Structure 1
Amino acid sequence: MKRLTALDLGFIYLEKRNQPFHVAYLNLLTPPADAPPDFVQKLVERLRSYAAPLPPFNQRLETRLGAAYWVDEPEFDIDQHVIHLSLPRPGRVKDLLAMVSRMHASHLDRAYPLWRTYVIEGVEGGRIATYSKVHHSVADGIAGTRLTLRSMSANPDEILPPPWAVPPQGRRERAGNILTAPVSGAAKLVSRFRGAFGSVPGVARELRQSMRESRDKHPDFVSGSSAPPSILNHSISASRRYVAQSFSLPDAKTAGKVLGGTVNDMVLAMCAYALRKYLIDLDALPDKPLIAGVPMSTRRDRSETGNQIGFMLVNLGTHLEDPLERLQTIIASVEHNKQRFIKMKAGEVVGYGATLMAPGLLNMLTNPKRGKLAFNLVISHVPGPRTPLYWMGCSVDGMYPVSVVVDGMALNISLTSLQDRIDFGVIACRRTLPQVQRVLDYLGEGLAELQALAAKAPQTA
């Protein structure tokens, strides 16, 4: 039995009828060329043979006297967690995404360990798909990505255990935040606070610098209350719309090299273009720039274990019509964050970001339609290997994140960069943000715009 951390408990309590708190991946797979007719059935049987999952996948939620715990499930039933489905003919990807939209809108049953994997056959082109979701209190997005990647191989003949049976590499850690401490007394909380936020004077120093930059109107500084009110930040319903598509990673890298930006800068520019066009369609583009909350790793070297995550607040320049000026705004905003964070310890990055964003985040949770906001949406990018990947003998053609939307944040854009692809997953509240599939079209246009800018750029010797 293990007591939930304060952060994990928060994910449980934040969950509402219209706001499930699980994250997922949609994987698009091509079976081997010599796959027999019963390949998918055999695949499901193989997955169900891993019927003794490792923690935390064998644990369910239990509450006692107001406290919440993870307890081992003595009667674990793998059939409750590995589900075999068929997509109705003709098996269009559009229909697959509609199915995922419905499944992601439904809550995980708390009577069981909080995860499920669906194997979906009948996708056009002879392909299959898996949709795997896990509650945010069990694993965050980065942990889920790493577990998923560890179940894949560069060797098409190598069969590795599925995520719930992958042995842990080390102690699971989140952001080094105070909220990851078990709720077990003031002394322990104070101790975790000091460890989480590192040097309090260091955080205070950067906050003083931020106040000076805000007072002096530094062009690249983004405060924790800079985000403008937007339709993106209205309340949500229980309905979801999920769309996904892959774009060329080499095209983004080439454009970035010419234009002086990283792949992540190009991704943010694609998102800025798409958001600008989409909100113009809705006659809802704010006069001020949208602000993106961008998770970033604060890991200093490869020897560190666990995940240390901070947040950048990035000016997307969506109020700017000129694409080059918009891109330069994004690059400058990201660089300003990097130059600040590079001087800070990992815990200080987390503490600084949490302190800076706290007022806006509180407002977003309590009064999302009015007042100050920390950011308008989260844009999360997790890079992966550049080699082809295989899972259970199938080639991995797409690995699309499916994230969370909440009251006050009706849109989330998440992506992975794998092999030669950038796999985007966009999820929104269907009622608040109609026709969100347009965002995919505009992401493609945004990449084309960057390529056009690169083609016009002066050639250096």
Structure 2
Amino acid sequence: MPVMLPADSMFLIGESREHPMHVGGLQLFKKPADAGPDYVGELFRELLTHTDVRKLLRRRPADPVSSLGQLWWTDDRDIDLEYHVRLSALPQPGKVRQLLELVSRLHGTLLDRHRALWEFTLIDGLEGDRFATYTKVHHSVVDGVAAMALLDGTMSTDPDVRGIPPVWAKRPGGRPSTGGVSQGITELLTTAAKAVPAAVRDVAGVAGAATRLAGKAVRRDSAGLPFQAPATMLNVPITGGRRFAADSWPIERLRAVGQAVGATLNDVVLAMCSGALRRYLAEHQQLPDRSLVAAVPVSVRAEGAGAAGGNSIGMVLCPLASDLADPVARLVSINRTMTETKQELSGLSPVQVQMLAATQALVPMLINVLPGSSHVVAPTFNLFISNVPGPRRTLYWNGAELVGSYPVSIPFENQALNITVTSYAGSMDFGLTGCRRSVPHLQRLLGYLEESLAELEKEVLVD
């Protein structure tokens, strides 16, 4: 019974019916050329034969799930695969909008803590000779980078390769787990004892970094400090219902804009979101005079850690310059902020980055979720915007071509919208997840993202 990491435990402690804490992924596939009329049904029946589940996806909270289970992991040794793996179908005509509506409903339901914390839905009936999969895993089990590594491990760059096991199936060479509570405690104490000198240095270093970043934020008119974001229609209590929207843009379009200005691909993503949010909030007569602030996760996962599980993320606050009407000025401002922040973080250890995230974003965010806090303090930030690197080459799952991979993430209390982006095979795949009640007409943001990018192209690209 291994001890749960504090970052993992936080996602269980903070979960309620109004606040599901799982992440998901929507993958669109083109059927192989030799697919028969019952291709998806046959695929579903084949998937149910993979009963040897990898250890990471056997994890569930220890009993009782609402107390001890928030501190310790145990293994579900009797996985009911027909519960976790499901088959669904879209009604005719099988439009993408119908698929997104189905994913919206699936993403709003809680995972059962008495079972391993994941579900997989195979979806038939999508127009264009396509099918889809929707996978959700509790955020206490994986972060976004680990989730992408899991996906990558179930695919091949060769369309002729068959026999690839599904995401939950145990891979050859995995070692069985041994040990229980006593071993987990011993390992925790041993690791903690060895880490004390480094931890002292980390604490000393993070205080100076926080002071320097705060000083720079003050010089930028305090927009990058906790509790300085403007209150908007996005910063309200949320419900458990979800709405999901998704679309893709060619990476080359974003890269060309970034190169023209000297900005990174992620800077352009943030600028697209800033322009889209300006339009969306103005449409609802809710555009504030001060800049919106995004919490931008940064990975501190060790190289090669892959899908080992757990959460290895830090967090920085980035003003989106949404108060500026000039799209190029917004991009330049975002680039300057992120460049300065990255320079500061480059001198810190992974532990220090996580500690800084706690002081800048996570602890203030926990204060924001307290009942009534939205009427007392300003928002810590307005929304999450995350960019997770994905595979660069076209991938295939047993001959079916992956044509789109869209992240489905978590809105939080007082942050009713989450925008997560992943790169795949020359595309930037945007996934927008919002509270169903608090973020009306979420799909309109997709059109505004295109308008925002086109606006930048018009200003910075020379014919």
TM-score by length of 1: 0.89
Residues 13 and 354 of structure 1, relative CA distance in 2, 3 Å threshold: closer
Q: CA deviation at 1:209?
A: 2.3
Query: Which residue, out of 77, 80, 90, partners 2:80?
Result: 77
Aligned equivalent of 1:383, options 385, 389, 393:
389
Alpha-carbon shift at residue 189 of structure 1 (Å): 6.5
Q: Are 1:254 and 2:256 counterparts?
A: yes
CA distance in 2, matches of 1:273, 1:91: 31
Cα 1:210/1:110, change in 2 over 3 Å? closer
Match of 2:115, SS state, is: coil
Match for residue 178 of structure 1? none
Whether the 8 Å contact between 1:26 and 1:131 is mirrored in structure 2 is: yes
Is 2:25 the partner of 1:22? no
Contact preservation (8 Å) 1:402, 1:427? yes
Matches of residues 268-279 of structure 1 in structure 2 within 5 Å?
Answer: 268-279=270-281
Distance 1:62 1:443, change over 3 A: same
Contact 2:223 2:229 in 1 (8 A): no
Residue 128 of structure 2 aligns to a residue in which SS? helix
Match of 2:355 among 330, 345, 351: 351
**Candidates 294, 297, 303, aligned match of 2:296:** 294
**Counterpart in the other structure of 2:179:** none
Measure, in 1, the Cα distance between the counterparts of 2:400 and 2:305. 33
Q: CA RMSD in A?
A: 2.8
TM-score between both structures, scaled by the size of structure 2: 0.89
Change in Cα spacing, 1:213 to 1:423, as seen in structure 2 (3 Å) is closer
Deviations 1:32-90 (A, max 9, x none): 11111221122112221111101121233332494224333332221111101111111
Q: Aligned match of 1:363 in 362, 367, 371?
A: 367
Deviation at 1:369, TM superposition (A): 4.5
Corresponding residue of 1:323: 327
Aligned residue identity for 1:155: D
Cα distance in 2 for residues equivalent to 1:197 and 1:82: 46
Please tell me whether residue 392 in structure 1 is matched to residue 395 in structure 2. Answer: no
Pick the aligned partner of 2:346 from 342, 347, 364: 342
Cα distance, 1:75–1:207 mapped onto 2, change above 3 Å? closer
Aligned to 1:237: 239
CA contact (8 A) 2:416 2:438 kept: yes
Shift of 1:323: 0.9
Q: Contact 2:318–2:337 (CA<8 Å) still a contact in 1?
A: yes
- Of 425, 430, 435, the residue aligned with 2:431 is 425
Residues in 2 aligned to 1:53 and 1:149: alpha-carbon distance in whole angstroms: 17
240-249 vs 71-80, greater mean Cα deviation: 71-80
**Tell me, what secondary structure is at the counterpart of 2:125?**
strand
Listed as ranges, the gaps of 5+ residues in structure 1 are 172-180
- The equivalent residue for 1:130 is 133
Give the distance between the partners of 1:9 and 1:149, measured in 2 at CA: 26
* Alignment correspondent of 2:268: 266
* Aligned-pair CA distance for 1:298: 3.5
- 2:57 aligned counterpart, secondary structure: coil
Aligned to 2:178: none
Question: How is 1:5-404 mapped onto 2 (pairs within 5 angstroms)?
Answer: 5-64=5-64, 66-68=67-69, 69-159=72-162, 160-167=164-171, 199-214=202-217, 217-218=219-220, 222-298=224-300, 302=303, 308-357=312-361, 360-366=364-370, 367-404=373-410
- Of the three residues 449, 453, 456, the one matched with 2:455 is 449
> Cα gap change, 1:218/1:143 in structure 2, threshold over 3 Å: closer, same or farther?
same
CA offsets per residue over residues 342-382 of structure 1, 9 Å max, x none?
22222222222222335532331221344133221111111
| Native 8 Å contact 1:290 1:315 kept in 2 | yes
Query: Which deviates further from its counterpart, 356-365 or 403-412?
Result: 356-365
Question: Where does structure 2 lack aligned partners over 5 or more consecutive residues?
Answer: 176-183
Find the counterpart in structure 1 of residue 413 from structure 2.
407
Name the residue aligned to 1:177: none
Instruction: Report deviation, 1:117.
Output: 0.5
Counterpart contact for 1:220–1:332, Cα < 8 Å: no
Structure 1 residue 149, shift from structure 2 partner: 1.4
CA contact (8 A) 1:87 1:120 kept: yes
In 2: Cα distance, 1:218 partner to 1:170 partner: 50
- Helix, strand or coil for the counterpart of 1:49? coil
* Aligned-residue offset at 1:421: 1.0
Q: CA deviation at 1:386?
A: 2.0
Give the drift of 1:451.
1.3
Cα distance change of structure 1 residues 316 and 41 upon mapping to structure 2, 3 Å threshold: same
- Identity across the alignment (%): 37
Moved over 4 A (4+): 168-171, 181-198, 218-221, 302-308
For the residues of structure 2 that align with 1:299 and 1:9, how far apart are their CA atoms? Answer: 18
Count of residues in correspondence between the two structures: 446
Asked if 2 retains the 8 angstrom alpha-carbon contact of 1:158 and 1:392, the reply is yes
In structure 1, distance between residues paired with 2:350 and 2:201: 8
> Following the alignment from structure 2 to structure 1, what is the Cα–Cα distance between the partners of residues 10 and 187?
15
Q: Distance in 2 between matches of 1:364 and 1:190?
A: 34
Contact residue 57 and residue 114 of structure 1 kept, 8 A:
yes
Equivalent residue letter for 1:283: Q
User: CA 1:19–1:299 in structure 2 vs 1: closer, same or farther (change >3 Å)?
Assistant: closer
Structure 1 residue 232, shift from structure 2 partner: 1.1
Distance 1:263 1:247, change over 3 A: same
Secondary structure, in 3 states, of the residue corresponding to 1:56? helix
8 Å contact from structure 2 (residues 52, 170) kept in 1:
no
What amino acid is the match of 1:67? L
